[in-house]
Amino acid sequence: MHFEELIKIVKERRDNLQVTQEYLAQLSGVGLRTLKQFESGKGNPTLQTVQKIADVLGLEVSLKLKDVTRNQ
């Protein structure tokens, strides 16, 4: 999963939940500036930052063996 995909998932999830960046920042404890940077693809957030955001959105960061079969 590339960076852009991760961003897309966060943005989509946030939109679905109808939460603004501002409110998500508050809820997650991540600075608004940091969140803005992340969502606009400018950042290289730390794992902690990503996890804080993910937590609030009901998302989960995971690390798994890449599927080599490549379909499904």
Contact residues for DNA, defined by CB under 7 A: 14, 20-22, 25, 29-34, 36-40, 42-46, 48-49
Is 9 among the residues that bind its own copies (CB under 8 A)? Answer: yes
User: What are the CA-CA distances from residue 16 to residues 30, 44, 48, 57, 64 (Å)?
Assistant: 20, 24, 23, 10, 26
Please identify, using beta-carbon distances, which residue of 2 and 42 lies nearer to DNA.
Answer: 42
The interface region with its own copies, picked from 2-10, 19-27, 29-37 by CB under 8 A, is 2-10
DSSP string, 3-15: HHHHHHHHHHHHH
Is 44 among the residues that bind its own copies (CB under 8 A)? Answer: yes
